[in-house]
Structure 1
Amino acid sequence: MTEAKSNRTVCWGRIFPQIQWTQEQKAQWKAEHKAFKERCQPIFDQVQQSLIKTYYNWYMAVEPESGEYFINKNALGVAHKAHEKYPNARLHVFRINETGVCGSV
């Protein structure tokens, strides 16, 4: 017996309202994000080579104020571990590999 599929569509705009940003707001967000990453990058660069052998393709969350970092096999795990110690801190997550990022273009 085949099941009938619903033809009902979800209006995502009601569930996830769209945020309308101006070009200035987008540029400001990008600049802040870039500046934050530049604060975290030296910490990642400092330990990358020693961690890459043991923890290749694991995730590393960096808290730049303390210079502390956390590692875990998955991104949610590393974020959870970091937020346990620093609940209100902003973190940057890197992938422990040659580039520090996930995926490819």
Structure 2
Amino acid sequence: MTQVSQPRRSRILPPSAITPEELNHRREQSDMLAMQCRVVFNRLREQLIETHYNWFIAIDPDSENYLIDPTLIGLSQQIRHSYSDTDVKLTIFRLNDTGTCGRLWV
């Protein structure tokens, strides 16, 4: 009997070239952006939650401009239309009690 060998499966993509220091730096920037946007969100939520409950909101922390839409797809289209020529970082929340866009499993 002959044994049929199977090729060993490997990753499709090469390993990431990002250093741990760069990864930590990116996480810190992301956390800082989230904190800045959360402050603006908490201020806006009180005004908008009554008339736009469960709508999605995207916030630019630098200018404090925001976009709202009842669907995530609609909000994505608004973002592309409004910010197509700039490199801007926004955070998306949901206008509800927690601001969470998805389900949290505990």
Q: Which TM-score applies when normalising by structure 1? A: 0.73
How far apart in 2 are the matches of 1:82 and 1:67?
Answer: 14
Which structure would you say has the larger Rg?
2
Q: Which has the higher helix share?
A: 1
The equivalent of 2:96 in structure 1 is 97
Match of 1:40 among 37, 48, 51: 37
Query: Deviation digits for residues 58-83 of structure 1, max 9, x if unmatched?
Result: 11001122211011112232122123
4+ residue runs over 2 A deviation: 21-26
Residues 63 and 24 (structure 1), Cα distance of their counterparts in 2 relative to 1, 3 Å cut: same
Paired residue type of 1:82: I
Q: Quote the Cα distance in structure 2 between the aligned partners of 1:70 and 1:51.
A: 12
Distance, in Å, in 1 between the alignment partners of 2:14 and 2:31 is 24
Secondary structure of residue in 2 paired with 1:57:
coil
Residue 28 of structure 1 aligns to which amino acid in structure 2? Answer: H
Shift of 1:48: 0.3
Matches within 5 A, 1:21-100: 21-87=18-84, 88=86, 89-100=88-99
Pick closer, same or farther for the CA change 1:75–1:19 going to 2, 3 Å: farther
Q: Percent identity between the aligned chains?
A: 26
Aligned residue pairs, count: 92
TM-score by length of 2: 0.73
Q: CA RMSD in A?
A: 2.1
